[in-house]
Structures are given as C-alpha cells and as structure tokens.
Amino acid sequence: MANSDQSGGSTNNTIDSNHPFYMHPSDNPGAMLVPVQFAEIGFRSWRRSVLRSLSVKNKLGFINGDCPRPQSNDSSYRQWERCDDIVTSWILNSLSKEIADSVEYVQDSAELWKELEDRYEQTNGAKLYQIQREINDLSQGSLDITCYYTKLKKL
C-alpha cells in the first residue's frame, strides 16, 4: 500500500499487485466482467461467472466481506472507496438496464451483491419442477452421445 508522510502527501504511490487495492491500468468502470448481462434468467451461472472474474482481479473481498470498508479517517479509505466504486460499476455493467436501475443507489458493492442474491437466489419451485420434467422426458433419440450428454448437463 502507499506510504504517507506527516503532511498527508504520498511518498510512494505504488501498491503491491497482490493487494486488493491494486488496480491494473486496464481496469476501468466501463469494463464488462462477463460477456452476457444478467436479465433475470440464469442467475446462478451469471453469479458464478462474476465471482470467477472478481477473483481473477483480486476484488472478491469487496463483495464477500474480506475487504471491509475502513473508517472514513483511515488513510486507506479513499483507495478502498475507489476500488469499491469500480467493483460496483463492473457489477452494474453486468446487469440488464432494468435490474441495474433498480439497484443503482446501493451504498457499496457488498450491499449490491447482497441485494442481488436476496432477490434472485430464491429457488423457483415451478421452474424446478419444469426442469425435472424435461430431464425425465429427455431421450437420446437421434442425438449422438455428446449432444445428448451436453443437453442433459445443460438441464
């Protein structure tokens, strides 16, 4: 992390690339974490992709509590806020406009993530029943084994 002198100025602006506050020059608020935006269908696979992307960028701690918000008078507060804002932007960019608009005013990325999980992690009983029926009704028929297996795994 950056070192500060007594006057509050920074004497070293470098952050170890392994630190969660490190931002690569290519990290920007307009970046997309995942190739397909979440639009109320497929939350679990979208969630898995976002978690994987944040892990690669060493930013998972901002949404899972491992990198909590420091006190506002802490010397690391501004750097934490900057990183949290970029994580929030990445997640919002990974949502459909309608969903993003409904969570735009959350306080931080952890609150955003919790809101999304609370809203979309719920098991839909009717959908679960429909998928179980599709699995039961699936037959190989004229499909080769690879196509059949892929279809089964997708269900």
Residue 29 predicted with pLDDT over 50: yes
Determine the 3-state secondary structure of 12 from DSSP.
strand
pLDDT band at 147 (very low <50, low <70, confident <90, very high): confident
Tokens standing for residue 26:
């290519």
How many Å apart are CA 36 and CA 24, to the nearest integer?
A: 23
Tokens 């909590």 appear where?
Answer: 68
pLDDT for 57: 95
Tokens standing for residue 108:
């931080």
How many Å apart are CA 83 and CA 69, to the nearest integer?
A: 11
Is residue 60 within 8 Å of residue 50, measured between CB atoms? no
Residue 40 predicted with pLDDT over 80: yes
Residue 109 predicted with pLDDT over 90: yes
Residue 127 predicted with pLDDT over 80: no
Residue 9 predicted with pLDDT over 90: no
pLDDT for 13: 60
